């Protein structure tokens, strides 16, 4: 299957990175390389782009898309390992970084990857296919309480208890091993007129399989610590849970004291590391939304090292 992915809020993202032609930049979510290509077009031969993705298929597609550039280093790794990646490459500091959180269009459109509730396929959802945990394992082996917690916390699903109960009941008769088997259980559990009530459960499972929220929290701190002074981190998110993490993490990193307000004096010794560039998130323009409807939920936030 051809790997297609249209980068969202691309122009605004690249503009906010204030790219220097001889700088060192990170694309922590390479995908097909749409954002990376725009960075590379602004770099001279003295500049370097380090491009990470945990999906080997994405790496191979990006290598083809970026074959005209010699100053890009491809790394097949999860961005939570950025400390060791930079150490192994001999870079202590960088001049900017980009994170485009979420699933690529290719991963969604490829039924074999199991991300989509629109196409029947194996219940997989792994971004890194070498990982052992799959959505099928979660759905068929987690307890009812564990499933309910995942659906409620990661999907914000108000019918999480009923859905979990019906999954437990269904798996007494058969293994829930395809996306459509799961979709059928979820839609029958929810009394709703919305087009795709199963989307929140699929989102929750994807987050659990790939540990997305925990990895995001940890990685923001790591990347900021590697930024040179006055350089920027840009993060694009696609749902409220991710955006809330980025918003709150940027706020904490931009605050000197994070002691509880009832403390009479500061005891945390916390010092601000960044200033927030985007007080409100940047969203897709009307023109972009006409060309790419998948950009609708995207939000861009940017901070700058101080």
101 and 227 within one domain: yes
226 and 92 within one domain: yes
Q: State mean pLDDT over 94-104.
A: 90
Buried b (16+ CB within 10 A) or exposed e, 4-38: ebebbbbebbbebbbbbeebbbbbbbbbbbbbbbb
Buried b (16+ CB within 10 A) or exposed e, 258-273: eeeeeeeeeeeeeeeb
pLDDT band at 198; cut points 50, 70, 90: very high
301 and 183 within one domain: no
Domain boundary among 182, 210, 238: 210
CB 271 within 8 Å of CB 252: no
Percent over 90 (pLDDT), the chain: 81
220 and 199 within one domain: no
Q: State mean pLDDT over 181-200.
A: 90
136 and 257 within one domain: no
Q: Looking at the domain assignment, is residue 264 inside a domain?
A: yes
Q: State mean pLDDT over 128-136.
A: 93
Q: Looking at the domain assignment, is residue 3 inside a domain?
A: no
Residue 174 sits in a domain whose CATH number is 1.10.150.170
176 and 34 within one domain: no
Residue 265 sits in a domain whose CATH number is 3.40.50.150
pLDDT for residue 211 is more than 50:
yes
Q: Residues annotated as binding site for S-adenosyl-L-methionine?
A: 33-35, 53, 79, 100, 107
| Eight-state DSSP code of residue 289 | H
pTM of the model: 0.89
Q: Looking at the domain assignment, is residue 29 inside a domain?
A: yes
Domain boundary among 175, 210, 245: 210
Q: Looking at the domain assignment, is residue 5 inside a domain?
A: no
Q: Residues annotated as binding site?
A: 33-35, 53, 79, 100, 107
219 and 100 within one domain: yes
Q: Number of folded domains in the chain?
A: 2
Count of all residues that appear for the chain in the document: 306
Q: What gap in Å lies between CA 161 and CA 296, rounded to an integer?
A: 30
pLDDT for residue 3 is more than 60:
no
Domain span at residue 30 reads 10-106+212-305
226 and 87 within one domain: yes
Distances (CA, A) of 88 to 46, 56, 82, 164, 266: 20, 20, 10, 44, 38
Please give the pLDDT value at position 5. 55
Q: State mean pLDDT over 139-143.
A: 98
Please give the pLDDT value at position 268. 82
pLDDT band at 221; cut points 50, 70, 90: very high
| Eight-state DSSP code of residue 293 | G
Q: Looking at the domain assignment, is residue 87 inside a domain?
A: yes
Domain boundary among 210, 232, 267: 210
CB 73 within 8 Å of CB 50: yes
Computed over every residue of the chain, the mean pLDDT equals: 93
pLDDT for residue 51 is more than 60:
yes
CB 240 within 8 Å of CB 259: no
Tens of pLDDT, residue by residue over 62-72, are 999 999 999 99
246 and 170 within one domain: no
Q: Looking at the domain assignment, is residue 90 inside a domain?
A: yes
Q: Looking at the domain assignment, is residue 1 inside a domain?
A: no
Tens of pLDDT, residue by residue over 166-177, are 999 999 999 999
Largest CA distance in the chain: 61
252 and 298 within one domain: yes
Q: Looking at the domain assignment, is residue 194 inside a domain?
A: yes
Q: State mean pLDDT over 126-142.
A: 95
1-5, 19-23, 108-112, 190-194: segment of lowest average pLDDT: 1-5
155 and 123 within one domain: yes
247 and 128 within one domain: no
Please give the pLDDT value at position 1. 46
Distances (CA, A) of 302 to 29, 60, 66, 96, 293: 16, 29, 25, 11, 23
Q: Which of 107-121, 188-202, 216-230 has the highest mean pLDDT?
A: 216-230
């Amino acid at each position: 299957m051809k790997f297609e992915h249209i980068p969202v809020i691309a122009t605004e993202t690249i503009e906010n990175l204030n790219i220097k032609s001889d700088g060192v930049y990170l694309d922590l979510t390479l995908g097909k390389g749409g954002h990376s290509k725009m960075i590379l077009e602004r770099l001279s031969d003295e500049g370097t782009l380090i491009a990470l993705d945990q999906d080997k298929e994405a790496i191979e597609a990006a290598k083809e898309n970026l074959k005209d550039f010699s100053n890009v280093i491809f790394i097949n790794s999860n961005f939570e390992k950025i400390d060791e990646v930079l150490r192994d490459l001999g870079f202590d500091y960088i001049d900017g970084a980009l994170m485009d959180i979420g699933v690529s269009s290719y991963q969604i459109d490829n039924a074999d990857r199991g991300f989509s509730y629109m196409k029947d396929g194996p219940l997989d959802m792994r971004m890194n296919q070498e990982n052992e945990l799959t959505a099928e394992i979660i759905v068929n082996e987690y307890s009812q309480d564990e499933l309910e917690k995942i659906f409620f916390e990661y999907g914000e699903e108000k019918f999480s208890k009923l859905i979990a109960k019906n999954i437990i009941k269904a798996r007494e008769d058969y293994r829930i091993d395809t996306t459509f088997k799961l979709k059928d259980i979820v839609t029958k559990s929810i009394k709703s007129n919305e087009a795709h009530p199963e989307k929140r459960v699929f989102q929750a499972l994807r987050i659990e399989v790939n540990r997305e929220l925990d990895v995001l929290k940890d990685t923001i701190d790591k990347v900021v610590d590697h930024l040179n002074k006055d350089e920027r981190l840009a993060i694009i998110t696609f749902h409220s849970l991710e955006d809330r993490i980025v918003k709150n993490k940027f706020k904490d990193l931009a605050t000197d004291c994070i002691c509880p307000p009832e403390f009479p004096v500061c005891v945390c010794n916390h010092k601000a590391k960044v200033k927030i560039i985007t007080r409100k998130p940047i969203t897709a323009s009307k023109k972009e939304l006409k060309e790419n409807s998948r950009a609708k939920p995207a939000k861009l936030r940017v901070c700058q090292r101080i």
